[in-house]
């Protein structure tokens, strides 16, 4: 019994070794491809993450640079405020800053101030002047002998931390002084290097920087650096606590936290601990061990250089790591499954024969379905070899062109003329370039010319020469319809040009693409000048914004609109125009733009103005009438009251009076 078992195992092993080496090879290839795919996905994930990080980092850099420009513009406005005034008081400076609503528009600014230059011989006079303004303890800090003093005399908001900076001489500190001198000599907004602001207390100390813009004396020349030094009056400036500034510039939840980005800003281009200005993770306490890739971007503002150093959290790669694991597991599973399948197929001749027979039947069935489909498709279909000889034509092509006689022939053999040469050249061009789409006219068996849209393409077959396939769709009706539409459009344009109405049309882009002849004669301009937005150049400046608002709003809602405006006529006179526009649609009821017509209503507007003036005069006359009647009623009221009173008296005592007494009383 054991002997037979050993023979059976030997027989099976022979079959496996002889027939299954291809399956093992497929398994090996599958495993290799799986590993390579995993490495590729991992590499692609890193490249994609690097690209995304670069885009986000550049966006952050742009936001910082844009905000610095806005701060510079604010200080430039403050400098202009000094230039526009002989003197600026503390109250005026406060009002200027409050009206600017700076904290809302540019959050993160510690304040906006003015530092005045004080000659040494005017020091005591200056100190006394400020003390007389209500600051008895005012003095310039730090104390000491210097040729030139500067003092922060204005700073808003003038409260909290900023009170510590009042009277500080920034020119006495080298880093600030360097920025102030460069700003003075170049007349540019200039950032200082890394400093600790005098506004800092013992708690929550932040690194800081300052931006300076020079203020020159009015009337003095400032073209050269020497002239600017002689004309300098002081500097408007803004101090920045870097954490507050960056929180104001960046939406942390959107750019920093959402993307798990760690941002560090360094003074100049040296990435050292001593030059760091800002660290976005100082509060979050996220360990650097979880950070992966990094990007360093330079930022230059008017010659001042910062380095933006970005690092990204490894958690961003968790999704891609899961994809790598899926590829590995899936690849191993598919490789083993493919190995099992090949092993079974290669060692089962019957199964192979069954599959082969089934494939042959499927192929025959597919060819049969293809033949039936090709015969009943309502289009011309053909196949040619690489020399342009016809290999296959469908039933429809034979019915309309008698193409069954073309089998095995080139088009030049069928049509030995220029048409045949052109067709052969087209076929060879397609075999070289790969694709062609043309429109052509062909005479059919009924001797009628039909228009076709022909698409030719290459049919590639493994181990065989390329063939050429083609499909021709009869577009005769479409061509006739297009010609009819073109004829109708031309008729409409001729009709529009023959009248006195001004006509225009516009497309989906809201830009005008047509103006009729009366319009061009009215404006005295060419069609090229009027198309697009050119026609708006003739609208009266007072009407332009209103007209464009009406036009754009109606366009968005696809509604009819009517507007009156003044349009410049060729003779230089503005004429009142009534413009009525209507949305237009194509045959498929798709919105394609607007068409409008205009007419001159200047006389109507003049008549309306005349009626308005007359109405105003009538109203004034009516008021005068009421005023006159009031006066008349008042003047006549007294004598009538006397008469009525006397008559009432007579009615009571008439028996006590004789006729002579009554006459005498009257």
CA 559/CA 545 separation, integer angstroms: 19
Give pLDDT, residue 657: 55
Residue 186's CATH number: 3.30.450.350
> Is 14 among the domain residues?
no
Average pLDDT, stretch 16-24?
64
Q: Which residues pair with 113 in a beta bridge?
A: 155, 237
For residue 160, give the nearest of 68, 239, 78, 76 by alpha carbon.
239
Can you list the positions of beta strands (E) in 314-408?
380-384, 390-393
640 vs 270, 635, 647, 653, CA distance in Å? 106, 10, 11, 20
Question: Per-residue confidence at 489, pLDDT binned at 50, 70, 90?
Answer: low
* pLDDT confidence bin for 577, thresholds 50/70/90: very high
Per the structure, how many domains does the chain have? 4
- Are 426 and 335 in a shared domain? no
Considering just the CA atoms, what is the radius of gyration of the chain in Å?
Answer: 47
Q: Tell me: do 83 and 134 sit in the same domain.
A: yes
Residue 291: predicted pLDDT: 52
Q: Is residue 58 predicted with pLDDT exceeding 70?
A: yes
Block residue for tokens 């958690």? 315
Residues 593 and 616 in one domain: no
CA atoms within 13 A on the CB side of 530: 25
Q: State whether 387 and 514 are in the same domain.
A: no
600 has pLDDT over 80: yes
| CB distance 189 to 302 below 8 Å | yes
Is 36 contained in some domain?
A: no
Q: Can you tell me the distance from the alpha carbon of 342 to that of 345, in angstroms, rounded to the nearest whole number?
A: 5
Same domain, 89 and 223: yes
**509 within some domain:** yes
At 292 the pLDDT is: 67
Task: Identify whether residues 146 and 291 lie together within a single domain.
Answer: yes
Decide which of 319, 342, 365 is a domain's last residue: 342
For residue 328, the model assigns a pLDDT of 75
User: By CB neighbour count within 10 A (0-12 exposed, 13-18 middle, 19+ buried), where does 144 fall?
Assistant: exposed
Categorise residue 377: left if φ over 0, alpha if ψ from -120 to 50, beta otherwise. Answer: beta
Asked if residue 438 and residue 412 are part of one domain, the reply reads yes
According to the per-residue pLDDT averaged within each range, which of 84-98, 525-539, 597-611, 637-651 is highest?
525-539
Look at residue 627 and tell me whether its pLDDT is greater than 90: no
* Rounded Cα distance, 340 and 486, in Å: 67
Same structural domain, 428 and 513: no
Q: Which range has highest mean pLDDT (101-110, 328-337, 592-601)?
A: 592-601
Hey, what are 565's tokens? 């405006």
| pLDDT tens-digit map of 175-202 | 999 999 999 999 999 999 999 999 888 8
Q: Which residues, other chains included, contact 381 with Cβ-Cβ below 8 Å and sequence gap of 6+?
A: 374, 392, 393, 394, 396, 397, 469, 470, 471, 472
Statement: residue 3 has pLDDT above 60: no
Q: Quick one: 163 and 47 in the same domain?
A: yes
Local confidence band at 632 (pLDDT 50, 70, 90 cut-offs): low
For residues 407 and 612, what is the distance between their CA atoms, to the nearest angstrom?
A: 88
Q: Is the pLDDT of residue 578 over 90?
A: yes
- Three-state DSSP state, 496: helix
Asked if residue 48 is part of any domain, the answer here is yes
- For residue 172, pLDDT over 90 is answered with yes
Does one domain contain both 109 and 92?
A: yes
User: According to the model, what pLDDT value does residue 11 have?
Assistant: 43
> Is the pLDDT assigned to residue 242 strictly greater than 80?
yes
Could you tell me where the beta strands, DSSP code E, fall in 522-644?
561-568, 574-585, 591-600
34 occurs within a structural domain? no
pLDDT digits (tens, 9 = 90+) for 103-162: 788 888 889 999 999 999 999 999 999 999 999 999 999 998 998 999 999 999 998 888
User: For residue 27, what pLDDT band results from cuts at 50, 70 and 90?
Assistant: confident
519-551 residue pLDDT tens: 999 999 999 999 999 999 999 999 999 999 999
Residue with tokens 């059919």: 444
Q: Is 305 domain-assigned?
A: yes
Q: Is there a domain that residue 357 lies in?
A: no
* Domain interval for residue 389: 378-474
**What token pair was written down for 273?**
């601990």
User: 222 or 385: whose pLDDT is higher?
Assistant: 222
Instruction: Choose between 36 and 412: higher pLDDT.
Output: 36
Query: What pLDDT digit, counting tens, does each position of 256-294 carry?
Result: 665 578 889 999 888 888 899 998 876 544 444 455 678
How far, in whole angstroms, is CA 200 from its chain's centroid?
A: 41
Mean pLDDT is highest, among 21-30, 497-506, 591-600, for 591-600
Percentage of residues of the chain with pLDDT beyond 90: 37
Confidence of residue 10 (pLDDT cuts 50, 70, 90): very low
Reduced to 3 states (helix: H, G, I; strand: E, B; else coil), residue 232 is: strand
In terms of domains, do 244 and 175 share one? yes
- The CATH number of residue 420's host domain is 3.30.450.20
User: Domain check: are 298 and 394 in the same one?
Assistant: no
**Percentages of the chain per state (helix, strand, coil), in multiples of 5:** 55, 25, 20
**Domain end marker among 297, 316, 342:** 342
> Is 149 buried (19+), middle (13-18) or exposed (0-12) by CB count in 10 A?
buried
DSSP state of 289: G
Token code pair at residue 304: 């001042």
Q: Look up residue 464 and give its DSSP letter.
A: S
Between 269 and 251, residue with greater pLDDT: 269
Q: Is residue 26 part of a domain?
A: no
Decide if pLDDT at 48 tops 90.
Answer: no
Distances from the Cα of 349 to the Cα of 142, 357, 464, 571, angstroms? 101, 12, 29, 97
């Amino acid at each position: 019994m054991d002997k037979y078992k050993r023979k059976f195992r030997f027989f099976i092993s022979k079959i496996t070794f002889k027939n299954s080496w291809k399956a093992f090879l497929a398994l090996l290839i599958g495993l290799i491809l799986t590993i390579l795919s995993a490495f590729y996905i991992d590499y692609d994930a890193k490249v994609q993450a690097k690209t995304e990080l670069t885009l986000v980092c550049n966006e952050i850099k742009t936001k910082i640079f844009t905000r610095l420009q806005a701060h510079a513009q604010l200080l430039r406005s403050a400098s202009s405020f000094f230039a526009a005034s002989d003197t600026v008081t503390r109250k005026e400076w406060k009002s200027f800053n409050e009206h600017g609503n700076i904290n809302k528009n540019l959050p993160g600014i510690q304040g906006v101030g003015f530092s005045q230059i004080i000659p040494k011989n005017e020091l005591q006079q200056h100190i006394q002047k400020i003390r007389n303004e209500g600051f008895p303890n005012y003095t310039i800090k730090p104390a000491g002998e210097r040729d030139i003093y500067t003092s922060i005399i204005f700073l808003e908001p003038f409260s909290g931390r900023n009170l510590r900076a009042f009277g500080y001489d920034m020119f006495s500190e080298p880093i600030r002084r360097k920025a102030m001198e460069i700003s003075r000599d170049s007349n540019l907004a200039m950032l200082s290097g890394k400093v600790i602001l005098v506004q800092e207390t013992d708690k929550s100390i932040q690194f800081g920087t300052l931006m300076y813009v020079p203020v020159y004396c009015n009337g003095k020349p400032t073209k050269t650096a020497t002239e600017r030094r002689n004309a300098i009056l002081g500097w408007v400036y803004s101090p920045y606590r870097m954490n507050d500034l960056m929180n104001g510039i960046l939406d942390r939840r959107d750019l920093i936290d959402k993307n798990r980005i760690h941002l560090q800003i360094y003074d100049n281009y040296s990435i050292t601990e001593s030059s760091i200005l800002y660290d976005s993770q100082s509060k979050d306490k996220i360990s650097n061990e979880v950070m992966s890739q990094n990007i360093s971007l330079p930022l230059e503002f008017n010659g001042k250089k910062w380095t933006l150093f970005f690092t990204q959290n490894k958690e961003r790669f968790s999704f891609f790591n899961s994809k790598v694991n899926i590829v590995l597991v899936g690849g191993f599973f598919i490789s083993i499954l493919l190995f099992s399948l090949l092993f079974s197929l290669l060692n089962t001749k019957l199964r192979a024969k069954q599959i082969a027979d089934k494939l042959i039947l499927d192929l025959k069935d597919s060819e049969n379905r293809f033949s039936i489909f090709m015969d009943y498709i309502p289009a011309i279909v053909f196949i040619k070899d690489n020399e342009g000889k016809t290999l296959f034509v469908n039933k429809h092509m034979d019915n309309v062109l008698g193409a069954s006689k073309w089998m095995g022939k080139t088009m030049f053999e069928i049509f030995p003329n220029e048409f045949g040469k052109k067709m052969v050249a087209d076929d060879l061009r397609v075999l070289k370039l790969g694709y062609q789409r043309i429109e052509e006219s062909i005479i059919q068996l009924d001797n009628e010319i039909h228009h076709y849209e022909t698409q030719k393409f290459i049919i590639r077959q493994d181990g065989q020469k390329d063939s050429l396939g083609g499909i021709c769709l009869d577009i005769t009706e479409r061509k006739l319809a297009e010609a009819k539409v073109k004829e109708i459009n031309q008729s409409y344009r001729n009709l529009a040009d023959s009248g006195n109405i001004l006509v225009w049309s516009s497309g989906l882009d809201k830009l005008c693409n047509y103006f009729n002849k009366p319009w061009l004669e009215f404006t005295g301009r060419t069609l090229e000048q009027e198309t697009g937005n050119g026609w708006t150049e003739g609208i009266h400046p007072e009407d332009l914004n209103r007209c464009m608002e009406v036009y754009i709003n109606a366009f968005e809602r696809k509604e009819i609109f009517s507007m009156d405006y003044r349009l410049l006529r060729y003779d230089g006179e503005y004429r009142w125009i009534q413009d009525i526009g209507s949305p237009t649609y194509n045959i498929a009821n798709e919105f394609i733009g607007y068409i409008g017509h205009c007419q001159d209503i200047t006389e109507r507007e003049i008549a309306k103005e005349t009626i308005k003036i007359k109405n105003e005069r009538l109203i004034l006359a009516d008021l005068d009438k009421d005023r006159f009647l009031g006066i008349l009623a008042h003047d006549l009221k007294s004598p009538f009251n006397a008469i009525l009173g006397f008559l009432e008296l007579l009615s009571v005592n008439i028996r006590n009076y004789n006729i002579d007494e009554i006459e005498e009383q009257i």
